[in-house]
Structure 1
Amino acid sequence: MSKNPCNARLLTGAAGGLAIGLLAGHAALAQVPASTNASFEASLKQFCPAKNLEFLKPDVLAKTTDAFVRALPSDQRKRVSDLARPGAAACAGSADESCRTAALLGSIRYMDLSAPLAQKFCELSISCKDWFDCGEDRAPAAQQEASVAPPPQPAPPEPARPQQQAVAQPPASPQPRSEPPAATVPPPPAYYPPPVARAEPPAEAEPAPAPGRSAEVEAPAPVPLPPPRTAARARPELPRPDPSVADLETAARQPPARLEDDAAERAPGARGAVAGFYRALGRGDGIEAARYLIPEKRGRGPFSAAAMSRFYGGLRSPLRLEGVREIGPGTLRARYTFAARDGSVCRGDAVISVREGSSGPLIESIRALSGC
């Protein structure tokens, strides 16, 4: 699959392949003048190569980029806005801010402001709770506040005083410390009541006086035992399944839907690759799912085979692919459902960007529109 100039600009305009493959993004970047200045992606790798921002949500990317533009001098801010206006107008009907942000990043590159923007993103603290569930982490700020508090402790000047009184302190300190352990010793004997022989007499005393009638007791005993056990096991199982999860589990066993998924997986080209990827996730097979990813993505974070097997193999209800359709060249949209371990149901909707590899189409990026 050949890459046109619009695809190249989009790859350099967004971090980690975010918003790649969106047709609106192609139209937006086509309105921005071409430039040989450093792209945002290249600047990001230069200033903070160890930071992984490819899973940053579109709203965080848009929020940080807009804040950077607002902080620019008035003349630069006006110039960036004017350059991005035609591209932003082509983003009408976009599902999120990815298209408009791509046009804005193209204008920032044209103004040679990618490096300052990348430094701004390097200051962000990002944490990922789950696949496609990433955002700004406010925990480090609390840790910094806690670390600032301890320095103003006047502990160092005080040790000089106890040196003179060190002789009087050691004898007084061991005396009160040795007394409490003696008080803590008596409580344990109070726990002896549990092993009292109360349980022994009722169990052994009743069968002992009737040795001759042991055969009569053995016959009725096995009859009443099984019914109460089965009734006790059947009662707790009824309230366990949630209605939403039960519906999802029932839908996952419907044969027509499975036939549709099988047909999609056997379909040639990008549609078959996307269907095969999600079918592998539905089986909890991270190794098979990694085969459908580009080599640069394999083994990275949530795209590693171990991470995918651990997450999708531990779902309460396995992932079920609802459908795959093409929405543009190299861009597809997939719908799926699954139930997490806590019982929450995800009705997923994702945009997948695919590029041609040596062995066939491979998945380049995935953007979850539903957040799961």
Structure 2
Amino acid sequence: MGNRVRRLGLAAATGACLLAGAAAAQMAPQAATQGPLRLVPQPIPSPAPSPAVEQPPAPPVPVPPQPSSAATVVRPGQPAANPAPIPQPAASADPAQIHPPTPRPQPTDGVAAVRAFYDALGQADAARANTYVIPEKRGSGAYDIASMNRFYGNMSVPVRLLAAEPIGRNAVRVRYHYVYVNGRSCDGAAEVALAERDGLALIERIKALNDC
């Protein structure tokens, strides 16, 4: 009796194993056809949009001035047009041109002519001194302008007329003083002969009465 029960239990276990193996064999082809399992990512929910923050209005962008339609366009290789001249202030008129200097009147008095002559020498102005000399002797000999300017311009004490006295109708005696640049002093005297030209008294000749 006990042996029979063991045999029945063994048979039942064997049958259960066979049934399990058949089921496993049936499931294997199905799994092979289906292939490996695939993982499908789940969509991540996007965060809810935050409430909009009101921004201040942007400042206006300055627009550069546009060139005038009349502006000249210079193309490569084309010479640029000459710029418009800059207006210059009007030059002021020379007062000497508006009011020309009045010519120095020549004295008709012999003493006045001699005094004017020595006054010009005291300023080392030989050109003016020559205007009191007769025309035929001006700028030559003892009245050479360059020589006179050189001599009377080298005075440490300029020529100064001390006296001018008429001696006769056409002569004047003079006394003068000067100190030369080298220190030599002169207290001179001379007789000046006069001649009349066109109503003017002019110097014709000067005769020194001493060594200067």
TM-score (normalizing by structure 2):
0.48
Indicate the structure (1 or 2) with the bigger Cα radius of gyration.
2
The structure with more strand, counted as a fraction of residues = 2
